[in-house]
């Protein structure tokens, strides 16, 4: 989490700089990373210190046993097996950078999504009794050990998906133009090397997809529509789409639902203001409002 917190600090570069020229925005990030009081480099040095002996031992085992060596199945081994990796002189900065990026993607986004869910639940009392009843039905003993239990929580899943739709990033899924150019249907062209992202609000707040009032929260919007939170589509891009859709989304969704189910059963959850506080948008990234959540232990009848 230390890495996630430091990375979020880097993102607080004024997005107006990007409107002047993307290069200025990129350089401002680089300058903050190199010369600012950012701890990311120190954290990366700690990771390198931890993984270097492990990688050296694996490469020693591989040289000793050759094809008879059975390597571990994990992220480090995946990176070592990539084309172009020099096993005689491993690039520890590159490997540690990937491991930190994976850590950020797996932990920070799950925490953010869970917080958004809880803020929406805590500020919408009309859903409390209904969702509590569902949790008591499918999680009677507070022991969610069966994924089949979680899959049956259709109301919880629909509520979560709606929370993610309305609180996700505004601008995301950035790709680089690798062909000679990218030509849009309106004739606009982007040259090779351009960075292209998707303005997700055009998708998640589209009245053709979500009706005449797409800004309105409808916790049961997806009930009975065979559209679980884990399903990626042109209407829901929170986890990306196609071959590059988030591979850990099912695991993350189950984590969120397990935690949320237990919290809903054990506590009455409210926001301090009794309203849904708005998220903060920084450089197109949506951050949950830091307004405190109040947890009041339920009294069993």
Binding residues for heme: 246
Contacts 24+ apart (CB under 8 A), 100-104: 100/3, 100/40, 100/43, 100/44, 100/47, 102/75, 103/3, 103/4, 104/3, 104/4, 104/7
Buried b vs exposed e over 152-187: b needs ≥16 C-beta within 10 Å? ebebbbbbbbbbbbbbbbbbbeeeeeeeeebeeeee
The tokens for 199 are 């303005």
> How crowded is the C-beta side of 47, counted as CA atoms within 13 Å?
22
Contacts 24+ apart (CB under 8 A), 39-42: 39/2, 39/6, 40/3, 40/6, 40/7, 40/10, 40/100
Element (H, E) at 111: helix 109-122
Report yes or no: 292 and 118 within 8 Å, Cβ to Cβ: no
Q: Which of 196, 131, 202 is nearest to 160 (CA)?
A: 131
Annotated binding site: 246
Buried b vs exposed e over 236-253: b needs ≥16 C-beta within 10 Å? bbbbeeeeeebeebeebb
């Amino acid at each position: 989490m230390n890495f996630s917190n430091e990375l979020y600090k880097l993102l607080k570069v004024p997005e107006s700089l990007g409107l002047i020229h993307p290069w200025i925005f990129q350089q401002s990030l680089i300058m903050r990373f190199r010369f600012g009081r950012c701890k990311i480099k120190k954290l990366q040095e700690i990771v390198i210190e931890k993984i270097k002996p492990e990688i050296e031992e694996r490469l020693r085992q591989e040289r000793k046993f050759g094809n008879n060596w059975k390597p571990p199945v994990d992220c480090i081994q995946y990176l070592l097996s990539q084309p172009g990796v020099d096993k005689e002189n491993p690039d520890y900065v590159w490997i540690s950078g990937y491991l930190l990026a994976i850590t950020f993607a797996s932990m920070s986004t799950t925490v953010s999504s869970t917080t958004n869910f809880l803020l929406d639940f805590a500020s919408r009392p009309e859903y409390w009794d209904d969702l509590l009843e569902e949790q008591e039905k499918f999680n009677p003993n507070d022991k969610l050990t069966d994924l089949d239990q979680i899959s049956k929580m259709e109301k919880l899943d629909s509520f979560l998906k709606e929370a993610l739709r309305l609180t996700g990033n505004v601008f995301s899924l950035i790709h680089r133009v690798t062909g000679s150019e990218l030509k849009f249907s309106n004739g606009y062209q982007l040259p090779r090397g351009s960075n292209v992202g998707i303005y997700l609000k055009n998708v998640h707040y589209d009245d053709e997809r979500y009706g005449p009032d797409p800004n309105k929260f409808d916790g049961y919007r997806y009930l009975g529509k065979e559209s679980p939170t884990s399903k990626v589509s042109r209407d829901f891009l929170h986890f990306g789409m196609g071959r590059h859709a988030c591979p850990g989304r099912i695991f993350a969704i189950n984590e969120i639902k397990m935690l949320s189910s237990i919290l809903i059963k054990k506590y009455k959850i409210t926001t301090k203001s009794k309203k849904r506080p708005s998220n903060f948008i920084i450089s197109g990234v949506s951050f949950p409002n830091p307004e405190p959540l109040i947890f009041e232990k339920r009294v069993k009848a």
